[in-house]
Structure 1
């Protein structure tokens, strides 16, 4: 995938019945299905059963088994409730006889109410002053660890620019935070709100566990640590567009018992908070049983 059109094609599901849909997979450099893809496709499936104009405001999910890139994923949607203000859907994703993922999503009618938000981090470098993953590969590719270089070589429909560029050869512990600017590649005009939220959800599974691994960077890295998303929750607050860079600001309050917990907030460049994310992931040292 190289542009937003490729990502949009990935989100298109084959409708089997009123509540069942099939999806295909694209690798992001891992041998298993990317969690963000399953999240976005599941939300897409759930939204197909919403006929009252309500908009997604939150979702909560668990990754149960790794997905096979070669097999279609079937999303089965259960209509849990259509109340006076909220509609709730449960989505189960399976490949053959194996359930790989479950999600609950809530949709809310448009209402007016009180309004406040936290402030975006200040004194961060703007994206124009930073190197993208593509720039890092071009300038430092020969010095990168093989696994990291291979990951950066995969073409993506999103450009990422980390605010702090850690040196993987330095073996130095870092603060449990991570800030990454991101922007879609290609024409992003004309996207409806439901589609924008699906794309944002896809992107939200990138980078978030970096903040949990940072405090252990002197001894832990992606090559010697088994990582996987265990659960993922997301809340959607305000409308937005993809026509400028967005900031994903992440922190990790805790790591213990071979799990790391991270949370993040996504802002527009102007500082509008559009979504928040929470995730716990597996962080298992490979040299320990």
Structure 2
């Protein structure tokens, strides 16, 4: 193979913002890329950049062993691939979905003679193809498929294999996003509290970043306690103290004319853990409240 010869070929179905970003990184890296999109304009744009625009999903799938899906939702996969021969194909699904959808899609692919890996993208489109941005993709399912195509999959972003259960990529994805949203909720509450005060958001910002960094120890602490189920050893600020202090937070929000809807569910969870058995739980770390979330 010469330096100018196309590298490992692949097919990409779906050219939304994320799909287009993925496509351009593979093209820039010299991979032979076949693309398909329900509306043809985006495929035609990429064809002008070196991709091959397929007229149908079947034509696109037939062009490569490795087929990457980046469609609107799980139902879109059924719509796009209905009646398409998948025998011998390696399907990598980067369509956003749930763990159950990933597992069901893996069984669906196996029934059609294909290997399958599900993915969870931990990046925005602007982070794709930018290693220093720190984006990566969780993958789970067929280890053989992942190992075969790892070099290609690592072109757009880092690749992290999280197990052969096809649902685990989506589960890791949503777990991290859930933590992110919770953090965003707390940050939103903090800024709402100073609205209308002689405190500039830009002055609170470095203090907020510093404080959140200092509180990062909770991640490891929670993992250790949930593993050991020991919620009492070495507790510094116990549940009873946290619940007592929560009243000040809620009263301050009321005084400032700010809704407490972003923080009150967590306060209620801690209170519920405490009141279920004050003697048993009062001295615990707040991590014990997590156990109430499992239905």
TM-score by length of 2: 0.22
Of the two, which has the highest radius of gyration? 2
Higher relative contact order structure (alpha carbons within 8 Å, sequence separation ≥ 6):
1
**Higher percent of residues as strand:** 1
